[in-house]
Each structure stands twice: as C-alpha cells, then as structure tokens.
C-alpha cells in the first residue's frame, strides 16, 4: 500500500502533537504536513510561495478557528476549485455550533468531527479517521 499524505491545518500546538501521535500509532503509513493558518493552507494546496514544492494531500484535516483565513473560508476555496475539490476534507474542530456544522456541509465538507476533550478519545478519533478513509473508502488516484 502506498504512503498517504495528510494535510493538517491546525494552529493549536497541543492538538498538532496529539494528532501526530495518533497518526504515528496508526496502522497506515502516512506523511503528515502541518500548516498553522488558513492562508498557508491555501498556499500549500495551490503550491504558492514557500509551498511551491508541496505534495498534494490525499486527505485534509481542517480546523475552523484559524488565523488569517478561517476553516470555512479555506473549505470554500478547496471545494470550488476543480484541482482540489476531490480531496476529502474532514472538519476536526472544537466547535459544536449548529451554524458551523451547517456551514461546513454547505461548503461540501466530507464530514464534521468535534474534537474530544479527553486525550485517549482524541487519539481514538484520529485513528478512526485514518482507518475509515484509507482502509474502507476508495479515493481517486492522482
């Protein structure tokens, strides 16, 4: 099985560390890229500036509350562009606001997950994401 590339768009250092740890414990070989704000996420996806050599991700884990450009704005850019709209985007956020959930699905998020508070539950959630999207789901090849 090929190594999968995951783009994590997250500004919280603790959540970056937990997500990295959960993915390392997983059974799927993955390459993780991390950007810490919405502007860098868009630049990464469209290979602009310092990200000109970035590899296209197979999956995006996207927080909502981000500096410079929020997750909803990033999601809208991703899902309205022919070159990126096929990439699965999972909203992984602390927000359980009904408005955030509705807006995420309006902009074609593939799923919406509220980050669990407990560390063990958070790691289990990230492992489940990896298991589902890379063992069960068929994704388009590049």
| 141 occurs within a structural domain | no
The alpha-helical segments, DSSP class H, found in the chain are: 13-25, 38-45, 71-79, 98-106, 119-131
pLDDT for res 27: 66
What letter would DSSP give residue 62? E
| 142 occurs within a structural domain | no
Q: Which residues contact 3 (CB under 8 A, 6 or more apart)?
A: 29, 30, 31
pLDDT for res 15: 87
Counting the structural domains of the chain, the total is 1
- What are the per-10-residue average pLDDT scores of the chain (142 residues)? 84 89 74 94 96 93 95 97 94 91 96 84 80 73 64
Q: What are phi and psi of 3, to 5 degrees?
A: -75, 135
Q: What are phi and psi of 57, to 5 degrees?
A: -80, 155
| 106 occurs within a structural domain | yes
Q: Residue 14's domain is classified under what CATH number?
A: 3.40.50.2300
pLDDT for res 38: 96
Q: Which residue range(s) make up the domain with 52?
A: 4-136
pLDDT for res 132: 80
pLDDT for res 142: 59
pLDDT for res 42: 97
């Amino acid at each position: 099985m090929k190594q999968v590339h995951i783009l994590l768009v997250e500004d919280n250092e603790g959540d970056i560390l937990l997500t990295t740890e959960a993915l390392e414990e997983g059974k799927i070989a993955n390459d993780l890229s991390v950007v810490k704000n919405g502007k860098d996420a868009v630049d990464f996806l469209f290979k602009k500036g310092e990200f000109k050599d970035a590899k296209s991700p197979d999956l995006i884990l996207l927080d909502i509350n981000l500096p410079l450009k929020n997750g909803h704005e990033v999601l809208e850019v991703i899902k309205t562009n022919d070159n990126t709209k096929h990439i699965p985007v999972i909203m992984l956020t602390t927000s359980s606001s009904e408005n955030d959930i509705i807006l995420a699905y309006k902009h074609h998020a593939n799923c919406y997950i509220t980050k669990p508070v407990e560390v063990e539950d958070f790691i289990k959630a990230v492992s489940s994401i990896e298991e589902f999207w890379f063992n069960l789901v068929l994704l388009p090849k590049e």
